Structure 1
Amino acid sequence: MGKTFCTEVFMPTLYEQIRGEQIGYSIVREWLMINCGIFIRWNTVQALKIMKILLVIIEGKVLHEEHVELLMEEFTFLKKEVMGKDLLKGSLLFTAGPLAEERFGFPAFSGISRLTWLVSLFGELSLVSATLEERKEDQYMKMTVCLETENKRPLTWIEERGPGLKRNRHLSFHFKSGSLENIPNVGINKNIFLKDQNIFVQKLLGKYSEKELAAEKKRILHCLWLAEEIQKCCR
């Protein structure tokens, strides 16, 4: 039986090396000679190019990107509510305190968990427009993104951060059969990080089919592509 170790990547140094095109191919390959996969912490990969490079380097190994937002009770509730319904329009607003872009990346990347929610709920999306309002002296920013589903249904995603803003999600989804305004109290998110790590272990053990892994890879790359397009549109 092969090696059963894995490498956990949370170091900004890996991101900086790749972003600066000083990618340590030999370093990553050396890791993979003694490991069977890489576990990427949320927000380590902040560009489509970086993910594509990693996918080439680790070909034949397991690459797992942390997505605890898909294990939250709120998302489980939404998934059930949305399933089989015909969307007319929707919006998702996220508010929170200030976040340093130089550390956490452009808002489309630091907020990619919200984008992942929308893509997971409504399928691949196309970008219509995106704007970024910034008042750096006040530590305030508001990113407004207009998206469309494959059926041309409009979705608006807003990230708003500033002093005094509480961490919260406000959503509004309108369907032909009715509307969903915000998420009720659906319980406490228990052990979601442990659950995410268990998914990685299951992948290492070969418990996920090639079809499941391909679908996940497609979703991750699509979300990163959308985040990049949003950044280009705003800058």
Structure 2
Amino acid sequence: MSSDPVYRRVLLKLSGEALMGEREFGLDPAIVNRIAEEVKAVQRLGVQVCLVIGGGNIFRGVSGAASGMDRSNADYMGMMATIINSLAMQSALERVGVMTRVQSAISMQAVCEPYIRRRAIRHMEKGRVVIFAAGTGNPFFTTDTAAALRASEMGCDALLKATKVDGVYDADPKKTPGAKRYERLSYLDVLSKDLKVMDASAISLARESNIPILVFSLFKPGGFADVVTGRGLYTIITDAEG
């Protein structure tokens, strides 16, 4: 199979938990560095890359609200956590020679740029990776929704969701032997089957913008490049005929 990329511009969505490795919270530098190498490999294929990273490894807004904290304040704290993760990923990427810009939906000009759509597109056109931090800048919206929003605004050809398994299953394959893995799903399939790939607003936004969502394993070395070139194992969510 050809090693040429199928997609010209992609958004990679990472959960904050993915950066923890085997830790209970925080960042595992080895994981962050390995992801940076994966992004570098994809960029070398000539693909323009942007990222959205969650903050659940540091603070999860919903859990804070559940313990009695005001939901808006909890969500803003979660947004701050995504900025910490984004700066860590920027540092790792630049250590391996990938020029990177962090753009935040919440103004924090001492450490990163404000989110400006046209500037972000220009960065990618110049071969820089752009990391979008602080979600949408609004409480009550997840980083999944932020990923679908930024992918739409950037005109991305695909949204790649990195997970711990190699696609979407009808049950947790780690807990349910014989769980069915889907090769292909429609956006409505994901919503009607309640498959928990991303939240409903993210799926609906991707559908409206006609951006395919590809779910793949973050833990397979070279997995990101394999998906971008149409190889490897993944589930594609799209209404287009395959």
For the pair shown, the structure with the greater C-alpha radius of gyration is 1
Asked whether the two chains share a fold, i.e. TM above 0.5, the reply is no
**TM-score with structure 1 length normalisation?**
0.30
Q: Which has the higher strand share?
A: 1
Q: Which has the higher helix share?
A: 1
**TM-score with structure 2 length normalisation?**
0.29
